[in-house]
Amino acid sequence: MMNTRKKLKRKFNLRDEIDAWVLLLPMVVILYLFVWRPTVMGAAWSFFDMKAYTVKDFCGFDNYIRVMTHTQFLPMLLNTVKYVLWSLVIGFLPPLFIAIMINEVIHFKNGFKVIIYVPAVIPGIAAMLMWYFMYYPDQTGLLNMILSKIGVEPKQWLNDPSFTIVGIIIYSTWKGFAGTMLLYYASLQSVSVELYEAAIIDGAGPLRRLGYVTRPAMEGIILLQLVRQIISVFQIMEQPLAMTGGGPNGASTSLSYQLYQYGFNSGGKGTGQAMALGVIIFLILIVFTIFYFWLNRKIEDRC
């Protein structure tokens, strides 16, 4: 008796939810066609020989072996890790720092916010080309122009194998920090003013307030942001594509850039390897993603 009533109730609920499902349907179809299906099929087809975009025979781990034994695989993996490390060194603290500064200033607060957000609204490729010309290695490059004014020899910038990744990360930081900054800023806003007032009454200076009031409130979001940054920089692709072509001599080639080369610049011979490399990147990132969700839950529980 009890059971049937429960079933009835569930049926009734489903009927109730049909509105929501109908409204969701187009989105579900689009997600299915453009996200879920390609992801699953890509993983499945990475075990097949491909002739351009046509699936041929099952070939086990052949594609994976080809990707991993590619003589440039390790250098490219290393480059990718370099991108991530440099992005943490160069790009991790500035947004936080600027968010705290904006939070502290009293006049022109909105003006600062707008000015700082400008790089984020410039279209990506246009911004990359702009920086490409700023880094241009002869006297027509903006940075070299400045250097020559102060009597320093022109530098090679992106043409310099030891600087090219740093150069790309400086650009990416400039382009991307504003969004992160706003996130930090919003979370700073939620720190109760009373806590600061209490701290001031107790005689705490700006640094101690930062250490004892701001830090505990911000820790969670900073940690999440760290993991998110690692995940997103690990997939860096457009910047080397537009700014260096992966050069000089592969010095700025990341795994994702290589995936693009396999997929679109190999005369159709690398399609299988492209999907295999996609799965490899996926597996590396899933570790970080699981950590991210675990961290996220932990932080939400704490709040």
Partner 1 sequence: MKARKIISLVLALALCVMTLAACGKKTNDKDEQGRTVISVGGWPDKEGTELDNAVARKEAFEKENPDVVIKPDKWKFDLKTFYAKAAGNQLPNYFSVHATEVSQIIDSEYSADVTDALEKYGYLDKMNPDILELVRKDGKIYAIPAYAYVMGVAFNPEMLKAAGLLEADGTPKQPKDWYELAEFAVKIKKATGKPGFVFPTAANNGGWIFNPIAWSFGVDFMEQDKDGKWKATFNTPEAVEALQYIKDLKWKYDVLPANTLIDGTEYYKTFATGNAAMMITAGDYPRKVTQYGMVPDQVGMMGMPAGPKRHVTLMGGTMFAVSSDATEDQIDAAIRYHGTQFHHSLSDAVKDSLEREMKKKLEEGQLVGIKSMSVWNANAESLAYEYDLIDKNANSNPNHVRLYNEFVANCPAEIQPEEPVCAQELYAILDGCIQEVLVNKDADCAELIKKAAADFQANYLDNLTF
Which residue number, 139 or 192, has a Cβ lying nearer to partner 1? 139
The CB density around residue 272, as the number of other CB atoms within 10 Å, is: 24
Binding piece for partner 1, criterion CB under 8 A, among 45-53, 105-113, 118-126, 226-234: 45-53
238 lies in the binding site for partner 1 (CB under 8 A): no
Helix axes 164-189, 109-121, angle to 10 degrees: 140
The CB density around residue 209, as the number of other CB atoms within 10 Å, is: 16
Binding piece for partner 1, criterion CB under 8 A, among 48-56, 217-225, 229-237, 277-285: 48-56
Contact with partner 1 (CB under 8 A): which of 12, 14, 17, 18? 18
Note whether 148 and 155 are within 8 A (CB): no
Task: Output the smallest distance, CB 162 to partner 1, in A.
Answer: 10
49 lies in the binding site for partner 1 (CB under 8 A): yes
How many residues of this chain interact with partner 1, rule: CB under 8 A?
43
Note whether 234 and 80 are within 8 A (CB): yes
Contacts (CB under 8 A) with partner 1, residues 174-233:
none
Q: What is the DSSP string of 263-281?
A: HHSSTTTTHHHHHHHHHHH
Closest CA to 90 of 184, 186, 167: 167
161 lies in the binding site for partner 1 (CB under 8 A): yes
Closest CA to 222 of 289, 296, 113: 296
Binding piece for partner 1, criterion CB under 8 A, among 203-211, 216-224, 258-266, 291-299: 258-266
Contact with partner 1 (CB under 8 A): which of 2, 26, 123, 203? 26
Return all residues near 178 (Cβ < 8 A) that are at least 6 apart.
95, 116, 117, 118, 119, 120
Binding piece for partner 1, criterion CB under 8 A, among 39-47, 123-131, 201-209, 240-248: 240-248
271 lies in the binding site for partner 1 (CB under 8 A): yes
Task: Output the smallest distance, CB 140 to partner 1, in A.
Answer: 9
126 lies in the binding site for partner 1 (CB under 8 A): no
Task: Output the smallest distance, CB 283 to partner 1, in A.
Answer: 22
Return all residues near 198 (Cβ < 8 A) that are at least 6 apart.
none
Rounded-to-integer distance, Cα 66 and Cα 43, Å:
16
Return all residues near 206 (Cβ < 8 A) that are at least 6 apart.
none
35 lies in the binding site for partner 1 (CB under 8 A): no
Contact with partner 1 (CB under 8 A): which of 43, 68, 130, 156? 156
248 lies in the binding site for partner 1 (CB under 8 A): yes
Rounded-to-integer distance, Cα 70 and Cα 75, Å:
10
Which residues of the chain form contacts with partner 1 (CB under 8 A)? 18-19, 22-23, 25-26, 29-30, 33, 49, 51-54, 66, 69-72, 136-139, 154, 156, 158-161, 244-245, 247-250, 261, 264-269, 271
